[in-house]
Amino acid sequence: MIDSFLVMGPTRALRSLGNSFGLAWWAKVQTQEPDVTYWFGPFLTRRSLRGRIENFLNDLTSEGVQSIEHSIVRGRRREPYTI
């Protein structure tokens, strides 16, 4: 298992490892029209997530998504990242 983390590169491996232990930061983004829940992450720090969430929200807005709400959570997520 450790070997597979090393193959993906150090930053991605740390994010994946943090996620597997429930230490990763995620944004739960809920939209209407379409009615979808997106999980944006994983991130090693809350600060790094906050630095990137605005771009993700702007992308959704530019696609015409209505009523976007988000919350920041720490924990483990498994696929699917879009519900």
Over the stretch 4-53, which tens digit does the pLDDT of each residue have?
A: 545 668 888 888 888 888 889 999 999 998 999 999 999 999 999 999 99
Alpha helices in the chain (DSSP H): 2-7, 10-20, 46-62
Total-model pTM: 0.80
Q: Which residues contact 56 (CB under 8 A, 6 or more apart)?
A: 27, 29, 38, 40
- At residue 17, what is the residue type? L
Q: What is the pLDDT of residue 36?
A: 93
pLDDT score recorded for residue 21: 87
Measure the CA–CA gap between 45 and 69, rounded to whole angstroms: 21
Residue of 41 and 81 predicted with greater confidence? 41
Decide if pLDDT at 79 tops 80. Answer: no
